[in-house]
Amino acid sequence: MYDPKSMKAEEFIDHQEILDTLAWAEEHKADAALIDEILARAEQRKGLSHRDASALLACELPDRVERMYQLARQIKQDFYGNRIVLFAPLYLSNYCVNGCVYCPYHAQNRHIPRKKLTQEDIVREVTALQNMGHKRLAIEAGEDPVHNPIEYILECINTIYGIHHRNGAIRRVNVNIAATTVENYRKLHDAGIGTYILFQETYHRESYLQLHPTGPKHDYAWHTEAMDRAMAGGIDDVGLGVLFGLERYKYEFAGLLMHAEHLEAVHGVGPHTISVPRIKHADDIDPSAFDNGIDDDTFAKLCALIRIAVPYTGMIISTRESQAVRERVLALGVSQISGGSRTTVGGYDEEIRPTDTEQFDVSDQRSLDEVIRWLMELGYIPSFCTACYREGRTGDRFMSLCKSGQIQNCCLPNALLTLEEFLQDYGSAETKKIGQALIRRELAHIPGDKVRALCQANLEKIAQGERDFRF
């Protein structure tokens, strides 16, 4: 029985409820009056239920689909302005005991070299990332209680936060590791992590069991209930995601929104972020072996509808996607992107991009400086801001900042300050020129007089060598 408040995976992601939702959406997809009524509700910017959002996803009426895109663009603009937050993944270890059939790190893969970063390696990798200008990392690891126990992950986090190279510092470490216990989530929380990210991969239980035939990840309930344990362990900000291509996207979309509704119903706060990875070629992985790949148009529609259905949730896109696809979905709702990424274990400090231990092929291979310049040329403000989490604005405190409309007085100046730091310390001459003109223009858009004046004063201090101001 479907119950968003239940703590049991099979009740808050109820298979029958998803099937009923999809059937209802299919039945009403050409009902223009109903679609208009749902769109009118969506315009209130309070989100949509999985049922309503699924009807929009099924709808193919061209003018209504165009309205969905327009609304997604507007909501994106209202809630996030033109800021885009930057991060990079850091692969700690590809040792893994699981059998995920889409991932090259699966335990049966005998020819991929297995690597695990030592603390000395981490210093080299993070120094290289700091030299690019990164301030936020997402650490990634396979699941292996012997090679990658929680103590190893905690030691890595501690090392990362301790590295200060010239003006560099990693100010937020997000963590993408396998589902674990409340006790371990508490340890991650105490280590000062930002968001805990765990992709569901698929919400379809039967497919999940086949796609994860062996290892602890085989346990669907353990995996699906992980965010509740993370929250019980004190982690306020959790990041959801589906690996698109594994199952039918309409099923996944409904499941993802039901998961968000569950978190809201039980913990009073929805997911902090949603990631939208699509399956990619990798060492022994051929994406065409999976039947449910989605084309770029469907992908764009999904991103737009996630933006409309959960307006307060950040949306993340990685370098799995090409420059062209990234450009398209940035306008429709994506608020965070990675840049200059390497998906190998080690390799940030090497001149030539290594591919031996890559988790997936990287489509967007530009440097961080190139990504920053490109964003600015498209009219976006690249941001390295980490202020909310460092000021304790996590979970519902972050959500209330979004809802209060004060975000322009907080996020905009923080974006400008952290962009100025990037330009001063890491930007090429051309990027710096474009960036400083952008900062001058954008300063005028800070609504509060006091905040604007203080931001301007702090920008001058940054030019003189001071760092790390925030609102």
Contact residues for ligand SAM, defined by CB under 6 A:
102-103, 140, 142-143, 176-178, 198-199, 201, 217, 243, 277, 279-280, 282, 285, 320, 359-360
* Start-end of H helices in 81-165: 119-132, 150-162
The nearest distance, CB 289 to ligand SAM, in angstroms, is 10
Q: Which is nearer to ligand SAM, 277 or 382 (CB)?
A: 277
Least distance between ligand SAM and beta carbon 89 (Å): 8
Residue 225, token pair as written in the block: 């209930």
Closer by beta carbon to ligand SAM, 226 or else 411: 226
Quick one: tokens of 111? 């020819």
Neighbours of 430 (CB within 10 A): 10
Contact 340, 368 (CB under 8 A): yes
- Asked if 396 contacts 268 with a C-beta cutoff of 8 angstroms, the reply is yes
Minimum CB separation from ligand SAM for residue 421, in Å? 29
The smaller minimum CB distance to ligand SAM, of residues 217 and 326, is found at 217
Choose between 140 and 247: whose C-beta lies nearer to ligand SAM: 140
Between 29 and 106, name the residue whose CB sits nearer to ligand SAM.
106
CB of 364 to ligand SAM, least distance (A): 14
Using CA atoms, how far apart are residues 279 and 293, in angstroms rounded to an integer? 8
Residue (of 106, 103, 300, 275) closest to 200 by Cα position: 275
- Among residues 331, 296, 409, 401, the alpha carbon closest in space to that of 75 is found at 331
Q: Give the C-alpha separation, 385 to 363, whole Å.
A: 25
Least Cβ distance, residue 255 to ligand SAM (angstroms): 14
Query: For residues 143 and 442, which CB has a smaller minimum distance to ligand SAM in the complex?
Result: 143
Q: Which CB contacts under 8 angstroms, 24+ apart, belong to 11-14? A: 12/258, 12/259, 12/261, 12/262, 13/203, 13/205, 13/224, 13/255, 13/258, 13/259, 13/262, 14/258
Q: Minimum distance between the CB of residue 441 and ligand SAM, rounded to whole angstroms?
A: 37
The nearest distance, CB 26 to ligand SAM, in angstroms, is 28
- Separation of alpha carbons 193 and 153, rounded Å: 11
Q: Which is nearer to ligand SAM, 362 or 419 (CB)?
A: 362
Comparison of 203 and 398: residue with beta carbon closer to ligand SAM: 203
Q: How far is CA 308 from CA 278, 324, 331, in A?
A: 20, 22, 13
The residues pairing with 259 across neighbouring beta strands, listed in sequence order, are none
